[in-house]
Amino acid sequence: MAKIGFIGLGQMGSGMCRNLIKGGHQLKVYDCAEAAVQNMVDAGAEAATSARAAAEGAEAVFTMLPIGDIVYQTVFGPDGIAEGISNDAIYVDMSTILPEETRNIGRKLAEQGVAMVDAPVGRTSAHAVAGTSTFMVGGDKEHVQRVMPYLECMGECITHCGPLGTGATVKLVNNYISAVCNLVTAEGMALGLAAGADQDTMVEVISQTPAGLGHIKTTWPAKALADDPSPAFMLDLARKDLGLALTAAADAKVPLATGSVTREIYNIASAAGHGREDWTTGIYRTVKHLANAT
């Protein structure tokens, strides 16, 4: 059983606290909402009067907060974590904030001898309650191993992504892809409905193709991720089909904002000589080149 400080008792944080308590840990909790603190006290936690008080005597201190500025103030502001945490404790931030904000906090804590791990959370508040969250973890290997037993109380899929801040990076990448896929799915379905297709029929078809299954586990492993340009489906053919969809959308007066931008990238890729390559590899090569990324 470990003594844990936990700050941030919203829908996600409260569920995680309950699972830490179920795991046998002793929690001291703080939140600006008194009712949230009382709910955790009723579940077996001890109330703290400040973030500093929650951190005092703790072996690990967790935060689950909405934005980077609030995380920073909770750590370094008056009565903050930094005033109460011992230098043999470890700080874990599970908030979704910018990677550089995470690294900045970690650098400042390191000056007083405190280790930090970032572990932003995937999935929903229902998973937090069930203890089946996912964690994208950044930090030194020994620090990650140190907090692993606590994370295992709260989640079922825990991935060490690299140094401090890479957890935040992978979380943002994941959510970016998910958010854009959500919009393009809505656009495509709206186009089909406007053109007279049946919704259930579209779902039946799309759920069996990369459009519904996702590229990262279907088309990408053998081509884009392997940097194999030999075409399973040529980029120029995908560009042609994209143009047809945009023409149909114009006729039906359906806005396809993501499709319009996507066509420009396909045009750039084709003009750069990737037109006869696999559509996944050619696009990945093009965007990496534009981003000066390897």
Q: Please give the structure tokens belonging to residue 213.
A: 């299954």
- Closest C-alpha among 235, 102, 258, 288 to residue 177: 258
What is residue 120's DSSP assignment? -
Q: How far is CA 10 from CA 37, 258, 275, in A?
A: 10, 33, 49
Determine whether 240 is an active site residue: no
Asked if residues 219 and 280 have their Cβ atoms less than 8 Å apart, the reply is: yes
HSE, side-chain direction, 13 A CA sphere, residue 165: 10
Q: Please give the structure tokens belonging to residue 61.
A: 């201190």
Contacts of 90 (CB under 8 A, 6+ apart): 59, 60, 61, 114, 115, 116, 117, 143, 146, 147
Alpha helices in the chain (DSSP H): 11-22, 34-42, 51-55, 68-76, 81-84, 99-110, 125-130, 141-154, 166-194, 199-206, 210-213, 235-252, 257-269, 279-291
Q: Which of 22, 141, 171, 217 is catalytic?
A: 171
3-state secondary structure of 158: strand
Residues with a catalytic annotation lie at: 171
